[in-house]
Amino acid sequence: MPKLKTRKAAAKRFRATGSGKIVRRKPFKSHLLEHKSSAKKRSLSKMAVVHERDEENVRLMLPYL
């Protein structure tokens, strides 16, 4: 049986927590930060859990996660 290939683009964007949930970074934190409040930027820095409807697709892209 051959090894399964990982989608490298997905591997860079998602990771698993200890309990098995998949987390992602939040968008809107890469540029144009001057007008955003400090509280907004702090909130965007936190990780977000992938939605349950998208989780199956992410797991298929990352077979060894």
pLDDT of 65 strictly over 90: no
pLDDT digits (tens, 9 = 90+) for 10-60: 999 999 999 999 999 999 999 999 999 999 999 999 999 999 999 999 999
Kindly list the distances between the CA atom of residue 32 and the CA atoms of 5, 35, 37, 58, 60, in Å, as whole numbers in the listed order. 36, 7, 11, 29, 34
- Which domains does the chain show, CATH number per domain? 1-26+38-65 (4.10.410.60)
User: By the 8 A CB rule, do 3 and 63 touch?
Assistant: no
| 51: three-class secondary structure by DSSP | coil
